[in-house]
Amino acid sequence: MMVPPSSNQEPAGYDGKFLALCRFFSGAAAILSLLVGSLTLLGWILGIKIFLWTLPGTIVMKANAGLALLLSGVALLVIAGEPERRSLRWLAGSCAFLAGLLGLLTLIEHATGANLGIDQLLAVEPPHALKTASPGRMAPNAALCFTLVGMSLVLLALRRGYRIVSWMTIVSGTIAFLALMGYAYASESLIGFGSYTHIAAQAALALLALSAGTLFCTKENGLMEPLARSDAGSRMARRLMPAVILIPFLLALLRYESYRRGLVPDEFGVAVMVIVGMVVLAVVVWRNAVALNRFDAGRRSQERELRASEERFRTVVEHSPVGVFIVQDGRIVFQNPAQRKLFGAIPEGFEIGNFRDVHPEDAGKFRAFLQAIRPGESPTREVEFRFFPSGKESEGADMRWVHAHIGPIEYNGRAAMVVAMIDITNAKEMEQAALRQEKLAVLGKTTAGIAHEIRNPLSSIIMNLSLVENLLEEAVVTAPEEWEIVRKSLTAARTASGRIEGVIGRVVGFVKPTRPLLGCTEVNTAVGEAVELVAVLLRDSRIRLETALSGGLPPCKADPQLIGQVLLNLITNAAQAMEKRDGEKKIEVSTGREEDAIVIKVADSGPGVAENLRRKIFDPFYTTKELGTGLGLSICYRIVKDHSGTIDVGTSRFGGAEFTVRLPSSPAPSTVPSTY
């Protein structure tokens, strides 16, 4: 079943409830150690005997042991909280080190017979205390337990050596448990291995809890790792482990008490203990087998549901028009046909970071998009970017817009990210067309007002210029040189006025376009006439003009005059772009056919058009020329669109610009200009 990954921060593959239980038990063991150690210290310092919990005929817990328990409890309590702050881990390690050092120094005293002055440091114990090697000195087995537990807690504070910690805490726990068994069975041989190896009952209990709590702090590491997993074997082990440890202990205690009270003979008690132990353990194993079978049945049911869910997912996604792919560990592991159609076929296991066909202006956005495809590290997000599915940045027509939605899922039982992509190129073009239409509407109103205000005084200027010229021609020439100056000034004024009139005419013609008169048109004829019109101008500019017109082209419905105007604008632009360039200047006009379209290309050897400008140059009033109006290419774009065609710009084989016009060979009849 495909579901979003859980927010649980436990390591994958481990039982979260068991890990939480380990944390709880470690904290409880730390509190018990703190309580026992604190009461013992208070009992010694304040002389309150009840705090020492002394049983008749048993050893009294030493003040040093209470201090070691207190320090170890503080260290375990901090470590159980899994702190990230270095200062807290340093505090825990320091307390654990002092507890371990106290135990180690006591062991040295027992081994060498020396007195290091630590036994009576906190409290003074009278000589000849019961089962005590030296006043105030803890037993060697207790000192060994504190040494092992202290070293273990230091390693846990450093977050290393988990397997060594496991073994050391098992040894210390075994020593403490052996002492508790001696108290339970009232056996002198079990209470101590010698005259001075006895541990107080509360100290043994606290040491056992402290050892177990330290062991549980390793959780998914060390020897605890097989118990912490969520696998069936780990579940079985967690169920059996308490029974394996407690049942023999309780049965042996029951046998001993029955024998001590004279209820049953010793031999019969042993037989009953063995039989009852076998029965109890058999029942435990049987119950665990039933639970394990139930768990496996549930797991198989979940696997079947997961497979069915994934099949449903694949069926839906395979027929979805939305491009979908799934990423695991940075690689694509699934993609549907819509995605392959959008991006092209991507090999299985392809690294998502190897996409290189993204538009340069969207590269930064795309890198952020890739960083989001990391399970568990990013929320659901959306992004839009441009790319070139053919891998050719130079081909502007190949560029596509994509809207991507990214979100976390679970796929094949593992965390993954699903990426849904929708081709929004048409929507973006419609958006740009709407913006252009809005600009044109505003421009039309503004232009109409400006043209009206300019044309009236301009007409008056032109009329007065004509009148002055007529008067000068009829006047008697008294100073020929002065008359020539006046004549040149009038000619310049008339030329400037004509230029203003021409600009106004082009602007008005742009915002109020002429309807194309569509008819059966031979494209080669229209191209040839346009080339003849500019041939002389190009020769004067030392530009070589070549044509490559394909024969046998079918006619198309077009307005030959408007198509000629497009060619004239494109050729003129190419010539102006090469005015200041050195070397060979060349323009090539060619025609051809691509499927159902007639193609006209104008290529030059000029500087070309930068990639980031190829979409902008068709916008009204956008120009890169010092004296340009920014209307020529916009007019070309409008005329081609009115013919249901397309126009784009790329790089020519000469290294300059190449404008490509595509006209449908059989366009739908229409004489209404498009709006965009």
Whichever domain contains 443, its CATH number is 1.10.287
Of 552, 594, 578, residue with least CA distance to 652: 578
305 in any annotated domain = no
pLDDT at 4: 35
pLDDT of 395 > 50? The answer is no
d(CA 149, CA 170): 10
272 in any annotated domain = no
Q: Is the dihedral of CA 231, 232, 237, 239 positive or negative?
A: positive
Q: Which helix (H) or strand (E) holds 383?
A: strand 381-387
Q: Is the dihedral of CA 530, 620, 388, 587 positive or negative?
A: positive
Within 10 Å of residue 7's Cβ, how many Cβ atoms? Answer: 6
Q: Are 43 and 189 in contact (CB under 8 A)?
A: no
The answer for residues whose C-beta is within 8 angstroms of residue 530's C-beta and 6 or more apart is: 563, 564, 567, 568, 571
pLDDT in tens, 565-601: 888 888 888 888 888 777 788 889 999 988 888 999 9
In terms of domains, do 560 and 479 share one? no
In terms of domains, do 525 and 470 share one? no
pLDDT of 75 > 90? The answer is yes
pLDDT at 514: 60
The answer for residues whose C-beta is within 8 angstroms of residue 529's C-beta and 6 or more apart is: 560, 564
Q: What mean pLDDT do residues 334-346 have?
A: 78
The answer for residues whose C-beta is within 8 angstroms of residue 462's C-beta and 6 or more apart is: 494, 497
The answer for residues whose C-beta is within 8 angstroms of residue 172's C-beta and 6 or more apart is: 144, 145, 148, 149, 152, 207, 210, 211
Which residue is it, tokens 């008294």? 478
Within 10 Å of residue 74's Cβ, how many Cβ atoms? Answer: 22
pLDDT at 675: 36
pLDDT in tens, 126-154: 777 777 778 888 889 899 999 999 999 99
In terms of domains, do 350 and 466 share one? no
In terms of domains, do 490 and 394 share one? no
Strands 544-548 and 586-594, how do they pair? parallel
Mean per-residue pLDDT of the chain: 77
By CB atoms closer than 10 A (0-12, 13-18, 19+), residue 261 is exposed
Q: Are 123 and 45 in contact (CB under 8 A)?
A: yes
Of 493, 511, 529, which residue constitutes the final position of a domain?
511
In terms of domains, do 406 and 540 share one? no
Q: Are 605 and 654 in contact (CB under 8 A)?
A: yes
643 in any annotated domain = yes
| Collapsed DSSP state (helix, strand, coil) of residue 630 | coil
Q: Are 179 and 199 in contact (CB under 8 A)?
A: yes
pLDDT at 463: 66
In terms of domains, do 145 and 31 share one? yes
- Range of 140's domain? 16-118+130-224
Q: Are 370 and 287 in contact (CB under 8 A)?
A: no
Amino acid identity for residue 100 in this structure: G
187 in any annotated domain = yes
Q: Report how far apart the first and last C-alpha atoms of the chain are (Å, whole number).
A: 48
d(CA 410, CA 333): 12
In terms of domains, do 328 and 193 share one? no
Helix 480-511 × helix 632-642 angle, to 10°:
40
672 in any annotated domain = no
pLDDT of 636 > 60? The answer is yes
In terms of domains, do 344 and 459 share one? no
Of 504, 528, 500, 663, residue with least CA distance to 590: 528
% of the chain exceeding 90 in pLDDT: 16
d(CA 649, CA 167): 74
Q: Are 448 and 429 in contact (CB under 8 A)?
A: no
Residue 60 vs residue 438, higher pLDDT: 60
What are the distances in angstroms from CA 82 to CA 24, 25, 35, 152, 215? 12, 14, 21, 15, 14
235 in any annotated domain = no
241 in any annotated domain = no
Of 202, 210, 183, 206, residue with least CA distance to 54: 202
In terms of domains, do 415 and 525 share one? no
pLDDT at 448: 61
d(CA 428, CA 459): 44
DSSP 8-class letter at 60? P
Amino acid identity for residue 62 in this structure: K
pLDDT of 364 > 50? The answer is yes
For 16-25, 89-98, 343-352, 494-503, which range has the lowest pLDDT when averaged over its residues? 494-503
pLDDT at 102: 94
Q: Which two tokens stand for residue 157?
A: 């504070």
Q: What is the largest CA-CA distance in the chain?
A: 161
Number of domains the chain contains: 4
> Per DSSP, what are the bridge partners of residue 184?
none
pLDDT in tens, 428-465: 777 777 776 666 666 666 666 566 556 656 665 666 66
Distance of CA 544 to the CA centre of its chain: 55
Which CATH number does the domain housing residue 590 bear? 3.30.565.10
DSSP letter for each residue of 80-141: HT----HHHHHHHHHHHHHHHHHHHHHHHHHHH----S-TTSS----SS-TT-SSTTPPPHH
pLDDT of 217 > 80? The answer is yes
In terms of domains, do 368 and 501 share one? no
pLDDT at 671: 42
pLDDT at 669: 46
For 403, phi then psi, to 5°, come to: -105, 120
* Per-residue pLDDT band at 189 (split at 50, 70, 90): very low
In terms of domains, do 27 and 66 share one? yes
pLDDT of 674 > 60? The answer is no
Q: What mean pLDDT do residues 55-79 have?
A: 87
2 in any annotated domain = no
pLDDT of 5 > 50? The answer is no
pLDDT of 77 > 50? The answer is yes
In terms of domains, do 88 and 157 share one? yes
Of 382, 398, 423, which residue constitutes the final position of a domain?
423
d(CA 272, CA 264): 10
pLDDT in tens, 503-526: 566 555 555 556 677 888 888 888
Of 387, 402, 423, which residue constitutes the final position of a domain?
423
pLDDT of 396 > 60? The answer is no
What is the per-residue burial (b if ≥16 Cβ within 10 Å, else e) of 439-467?
A: ebeebeeebeeebeeeeeebeeebeebee
* Per-residue pLDDT band at 267 (split at 50, 70, 90): low
Q: What mean pLDDT do residues 492-500 have?
A: 66
* Per-residue pLDDT band at 414 (split at 50, 70, 90): confident
